[in-house]
Structure 1
Amino acid sequence: GLSSFDKKGYKSKEKIQSQYEKKIKVFLDGRDESELTHKELDIFNRLQRAMELDPRYPEVYFGLEEESAIGITIADKLNLMTDSEFLISSYPYLWEDELTQKTICRIINPEAAELLGSIYKEDVPLKKLIKQYKELGLNYKLPIVLGENKQEEPKFADLVDLKHILMTGSTGSGKSMFEHTVISTLTSFFTPDELRLYLVDMKRVEFQSYEGLPYLLSLVSNGWVPDDVFIGLKWLIDEKNKRLEMVKEVSKIPYIIVIIDTFSDLICNSPIKFQDYMRELMDRAAEVKIHVIMCDSRPSPIDVFTPLIQGLFPTKICFKVSNIEDSKLIIGTEGGEKLKGYGDMLLLRINQQYPIRLQAPYISGEEVKKLLLDNKKNDLGEKKIVYKIPYAALPTYFKDQGFTDEEIKKLMSTAKKE
């Protein structure tokens, strides 16, 4: 209860030790340490380490080597987590340490964590992390800011290596903020001649402020319907195929970043068509500087995050989700349901067995507005955007979609002539 915590909200060292001494006494039940089995000894050692828990840092770490000195395998230790969970009143997470490449079992003390609130709740300003990226002298081809780890170390990635990103998270989990930070980061490093954005906002709330940004190929948002998205995807597929034919000149053409928010509106409306288009688009797209980021808050395995869609994305990000099943669906393991929201996330790359926990960066609405104003004032914004979908080409795309002549005429009357 709250009475066992001091005024700062932290459990005192003495109270933690007393609590675990009682648990150890019950566990030993009069036995000596030498009388314990291998499994019991492992639980005993966990209890001993938990007793040394720093109340201001409510976590303990255990390394999981392939096989320990006393012959306990990883499988045994995984079973022990369940056995010891009741004894330690803790929740286990499996992590892969980035530096040592060893598997780590992290156990969180829930009593302390509940009072402390989110251990990742502090805002991590995007501006600060971009500055750190520059100071570190990193030279990624397509840099994005991932955030900070537990040790407050900045983490960056090259979207060229990540290729494509699939994200999920409940409302308020921070996935939309992450989309904004990706856009803000990329537009701070590249000119419109070097990078283009194709934004799809089916909720019509996330990307409207980017209207008029010189980086835009297209903004599918207010007043648009799924068929408009398919026209754009068809153009992107054609653009990808053209680029594949001119591989030697790829270095001279701009990156295209496709961000699709709330894709469930598309896949539920036209499941076969949407999946076929995405499969055709993403096949070798990263080779020719086209990268896709897609997210939705409804991680249904049947009609949204289908096996085909998941298989197209080598990088997965899970923000706070409502249950274990949703977490397992996106990153293959539990943990997403225990995140705290507000950008607390798990990142899983294709070559990693376990996800990495990070706090995603934060950018205020005012900073986004300033970025937009700066970019719209930039002389580069006056340059012709070569990769806009040409008005004259729309009838062909409509025809490919199977629209009748009458339907095409109606659609053309609503299209903006460039």
Structure 2
Amino acid sequence: MAKKDLNTSGKTSGLDANRKKEIMGIIVISIAVLLGLSILSYNPEDYQYARSISFLDLFNPDANSRLVQNWLGPVGAYISHYLVHSLFGYTSIILALIVGYHGWHIFRRRDIRELGWLTVLSVWGMILLSTFIGWLNAHASFPDDSIWSGTAGVAIAQVLYNITNIGSIIILSVLMLITLLMFVDRDLQKTIDNMKLWMENLQEKLDERRAARQLRKEEKAKEREERIAQKRAEQEKKKEEQAAQKKQKQEEKELQKKEIAEAESEEEPVKPAPSIDEIVEKSEEQDREKREQEKAEAGTLDTRQRATLEKEEEIDEDEDDIEVSVYVGKGEEQADEKDLDKMNKKKAKEVPVIKYKFPKVDLLDPPPAEGNEVDLEEIKENKRIILDKLKRHKIEIVGINAIVGPTVTLYELEPAPDVKISKIESYSNDLKMATASKGLRMLSPIPGKSAVGIEVPNSTRETVYIKEVINTKKFVETDMTLPVAFGKTIENEVFMIDLTKMPHLLIAGATGSGKSVGINTIITCLLYKCHPDNLKFVMVDPKKIELSLYRNIQNHFLAMLPDSDEPIITDTTKAQETLESLCKEMDDRYDLLKMAMVRDIKSYNEKFKTGELDEELGHRHLPYIVVIIDELADLMMTAGKQIEEPIARLAQLARAIGIHLVVATQRPSVNVITGTIKANFPARIAYQVASKVDSRTILDQGGADQLIGMGDMLFNNGTGMVRIQNAFVSTEEVEKINTFIGQQAGYKEPFHLPIIKDDTGDIPDPLEDIDEYFEAAAKLVVIHQQGSVSLLQRKLKIGYNRAGRIIDQLFNAGIVGPYQGSTARDVLVQDEDELQELLDNLDEYEG
């Protein structure tokens, strides 16, 4: 019972304290209102009347107090005299506003210490404005009236004028401008950038309205012309109908005259004249024959024009009856030039943390106007070679289709029912030699089709530009979270996939095959669709030059350790620290998701946005983090297990909390792409590699060794293999995009990853409990000059864990060097005498 009373009294005291704050806030607001009324109703004559009023006059209705015109009476006259006349004129109203704002904060039970900077800046602005007006009154031929500046404002202006003469107005103007900018935002650079963005947006809106008006005018003019043309056509049609009726009547009269003449003359009978319907029918038949003849002649003039993007053309040959159907994909529908910019503007308004402007499509280089034509002669020749080679080996083909892509042409062969697919596959090298192609890849069979595929490189390959991919409706209107458009498939379709669905990507390929361009393509696609508040990059670049251009966007899109000097990680030690920090960030995020009772980052951010999660409990908006590692082989060589473990842990667990890995290497060997890493990267990209072994390492099957380089790649996400021509993005385009983003006002600092606490202080010194085999192990290591665990296991016949602890003790004693991955540790002691001296010193230390 006592406990209940205590709780009740605690709640009551809390309510009383809140009620006191509300009452105090109302009182302060009232004082501010009265103060403002006294200043606004200031009259210079009121002060004289107020001074002549005695205490008894306050109770006399006919006293001088009735002459005071101030809305607060004699009290208001005194207050307004000192504030308006003696101090800072009508600008003293700022004091009333400051007091009122403080009262509102007290009423709302907010901390008034937050208003310290605003209060100081407001008082400074009041004094500065009063001085500026006082200078104008004194030296700019303004009316000599200090009601706006006050006596203090005029005095300060006069002192400043005596010191700097005419330069005083320049000083005051600069101070006024700086104060105004600081009122908007204390970051002057950010304020100026925001003003530039506002002016650019205003100019764009004006241009859009001007373009819309021009478009409406053109549409109205076009409608007017169409109406006029329609009226003219109707009039001409009426005239033609009238002329036809007249002609028909004349012909009928002539026919009647002929019939009468023939009946009168009894000559031998002749055939009756054809009717009008027969004449019209005959003329239509002649016109039809003429049109068909013209089509046939036009078709023989240019066979290349007949292979359009939407039609199939049959090529017949005399030597056999098999026909090849040529199909060229029509490609994705291109979006309007401003569609992506409009959607990005809407998206930028939805996330008002910073004023951010998405990069424009105009920053990308336009593809050349002329497109690559389909070489039907090449297709015809390849078809003849393939059929001839297979026919020599008694392999019967029933039908063949050719699908022309930007890099290769896929020939779909339909074999006879009694032909084995393995027999066709065994002649792949013969076909490669016969076609004299750089790389011929065979699909036996094509997934989802009852046909065998042969991919033959085109003699003239087509370059897929990044603008062709980004400026499509498929990319512009996508609702994917992290969309990545790699390039175009053989069917000329844009291949796009969501990085959150992969959820991690492994890239491998030989030097110069297009890996770096592929990574730039991934980053460019994400920059065009993601706001800085929702996406951060962690970039690891041991080569130090591939990702250096992205340092310009560090305050917008990059995440890094707080103590890191460079936004792009190039050092192996920093890379290891960063990956371990990402593991810590992953664990922290899972704790937040657990508290919020949600299963993924998307649900968590939606819940945080609606205000269901309390920031005081540590909840925050979680951006997606994309980790880009440009060369894994270098990290694995220098750090080995220490790098592999955090990568494998992130790959296993980080999908739900929005951390995704994009790992690239030019050496796809089992030492680099280990089984642990490989098992957690279902999505893989293979560019051209040197051997089938490398292809199997990255894709679990061959094919990558038959690619032809320069962005030609195979994508496998566990459901099937897709051949894609990677979109090309140049270094100049990347530089323009980064410059555009870097010039904007971003966050004050990059996104900071958590620091891993050093727990070495809690670990006991290994030398406190020295193993009994310590001295024997030290002598073995010095004799063999090899500091390895396996040596101690063999010679001392002990287990791995014990041998590992002894090696750690030898390291702490200074006998062996630090850990070096798979390589044995260096031995720091040269002979047994030096070792004995070191052991004696160690015994003295322990004693």
What TM-score do the two structures reach when normalised by structure 2? 0.38
Q: Distance in 1 between matches of 2:651 and 2:634?
A: 19
Q: Distance in 2 between matches of 1:25 and 1:152?
A: 31
The answer (yes or no) to whether the contact 2:400–2:413 under 8 Å persists in 1 is: no
Residue 281, structure 1, aligned to residue 650, structure 2: yes
The corresponding residue for 2:744 is 378
The corresponding residue for 2:533 is 193
Alignment of 1:154-233 (within 5 A): 154-213=494-553, 214-218=556-560, 224-233=570-579
The corresponding residue for 1:107 is 454
The corresponding residue for 1:358 is 724
The answer (yes or no) to whether the contact 1:167–1:175 under 8 Å persists in 2 is: yes
The answer (yes or no) to whether the contact 2:583–2:650 under 8 Å persists in 1 is: yes
Deviations 1:63-122 (A, max 9, x none): 6xxxx99476xxx4134321476378464422897xx8447632145xxx47x15x4xx2
Residue 145, structure 1, aligned to residue 496, structure 2: no
Q: Secondary structure at the match of 1:156?
A: strand
- Residues 20/376 of structure 1: CA separation in 2 closer, same or farther (3 Å cut): closer
The corresponding residue for 1:61 is 412
Residue 242, structure 1, aligned to residue 588, structure 2: yes
Deviation at 1:324, TM superposition (A): 1.5
Q: Distance in 2 between matches of 1:103 and 1:284?
A: 40
Residue 328, structure 1, aligned to residue 680, structure 2: no
| 1:45 aligns with one of 392, 397, 413 | 397
Q: Distance in 2 between matches of 1:96 and 1:377?
A: 53
Deviation at 1:188, TM superposition (A): 1.6
Deviation at 1:274, TM superposition (A): 1.6
Deviation at 1:157, TM superposition (A): 0.5
- Residues 162/83 of structure 1: CA separation in 2 closer, same or farther (3 Å cut): same
Q: What letter matches 1:299 in structure 2?
A: P
Deviations 1:350-375 (A, max 9, x none): 233xx110011111212111111111
Deviations 1:31-78 (A, max 9, x none): xxxxxxxxx5xx2217x749x999x98541146xxxx99476xxx413
The answer (yes or no) to whether the contact 1:196–1:254 under 8 Å persists in 2 is: yes
- Residues 139/331 of structure 1: CA separation in 2 closer, same or farther (3 Å cut): same
- Residues 373/331 of structure 1: CA separation in 2 closer, same or farther (3 Å cut): same
Deviations 1:1-45 (A, max 9, x none): xxxxxxx99856886677678657744xxxxxxxxxxxx5xx221
Deviations 1:246-266 (A, max 9, x none): 224733210000010111111
Unaligned stretches of 5+ residues in structure 2: 1-373, 606-621, 764-807, 813-847
Q: Secondary structure at the match of 1:337?
A: helix
- Residues 299/197 of structure 1: CA separation in 2 closer, same or farther (3 Å cut): same
Which structure is richer in relative contact order (CA contacts within 8 A, separation 6 or more)?
Answer: 1
Deviation at 1:388, TM superposition (A): 1.0
Residue 271, structure 1, aligned to residue 622, structure 2: no
| 1:94 aligns with one of 443, 457, 461 | 443
The answer (yes or no) to whether the contact 1:331–1:348 under 8 Å persists in 2 is: yes
Residue 124, structure 1, aligned to residue 470, structure 2: no
Q: What letter matches 2:421 in structure 1?
A: K
Deviations 1:196-231 (A, max 9, x none): 000000011111111131201039787842111111
| 1:388 aligns with one of 745, 752, 768 | 752
- Residues 15/135 of structure 1: CA separation in 2 closer, same or farther (3 Å cut): closer
Residue 307, structure 1, aligned to residue 675, structure 2: yes
- Residues 24/314 of structure 1: CA separation in 2 closer, same or farther (3 Å cut): closer
Deviates more, 1:100-109 or 1:194-203: 100-109
The answer (yes or no) to whether the contact 2:400–2:412 under 8 Å persists in 1 is: no
The answer (yes or no) to whether the contact 2:540–2:570 under 8 Å persists in 1 is: no
Q: Distance in 2 between matches of 1:96 and 1:324?
A: 19
Q: Alignment length, in residue pairs?
A: 357
Residue 298, structure 1, aligned to residue 667, structure 2: yes
The answer (yes or no) to whether the contact 1:92–1:105 under 8 Å persists in 2 is: no
Deviations 1:297-356 (A, max 9, x none): 01112x11111221121100000111221112111222211211111100001233xx11
Q: What letter matches 1:382 in structure 2?
A: Y
The answer (yes or no) to whether the contact 2:513–2:709 under 8 Å persists in 1 is: yes
Q: Distance in 1 between matches of 2:559 and 2:494?
A: 31
Structure with the bigger percentage of helix: 2
Q: Distance in 1 between matches of 2:761 and 2:448?
A: 52
Q: Distance in 2 between matches of 1:309 and 1:344?
A: 24
Q: Secondary structure at the match of 1:288?
A: coil
Q: Distance in 2 between matches of 1:124 and 1:323?
A: 26
Q: Secondary structure at the match of 1:171?
A: coil
The answer (yes or no) to whether the contact 1:165–1:294 under 8 Å persists in 2 is: yes
- Residues 103/233 of structure 1: CA separation in 2 closer, same or farther (3 Å cut): farther
The answer (yes or no) to whether the contact 2:699–2:716 under 8 Å persists in 1 is: yes
- Residues 185/326 of structure 1: CA separation in 2 closer, same or farther (3 Å cut): same
Q: Secondary structure at the match of 1:256?
A: strand
- Residues 138/103 of structure 1: CA separation in 2 closer, same or farther (3 Å cut): farther
The answer (yes or no) to whether the contact 1:59–1:106 under 8 Å persists in 2 is: yes
- Residues 207/106 of structure 1: CA separation in 2 closer, same or farther (3 Å cut): same
Q: Distance in 2 between matches of 1:223 and 1:70?
A: 58
The answer (yes or no) to whether the contact 2:421–2:444 under 8 Å persists in 1 is: no
The corresponding residue for 1:319 is 687
Identity percentage of aligned residues:
25
The corresponding residue for 1:367 is 733
Q: Distance in 2 between matches of 1:53 and 1:189?
A: 32
RMSD (Å), alpha carbons: 3.6
Structure with the bigger percentage of strand: 1
Q: What letter matches 2:672 in structure 1?
A: V
Q: Distance in 2 between matches of 1:127 and 1:399?
A: 55
The answer (yes or no) to whether the contact 2:397–2:416 under 8 Å persists in 1 is: no
Q: What letter matches 2:668 in structure 1?
A: P
Q: Distance in 2 between matches of 1:224 and 1:255?
A: 22
Q: Distance in 2 between matches of 1:94 and 1:14?
A: 21
- Residues 268/17 of structure 1: CA separation in 2 closer, same or farther (3 Å cut): closer
Q: Secondary structure at the match of 2:454?
A: strand
The answer (yes or no) to whether the contact 1:162–1:314 under 8 Å persists in 2 is: yes
| 1:77 aligns with one of 389, 404, 421 | 421
**Structure with bigger gyration radius:** 2
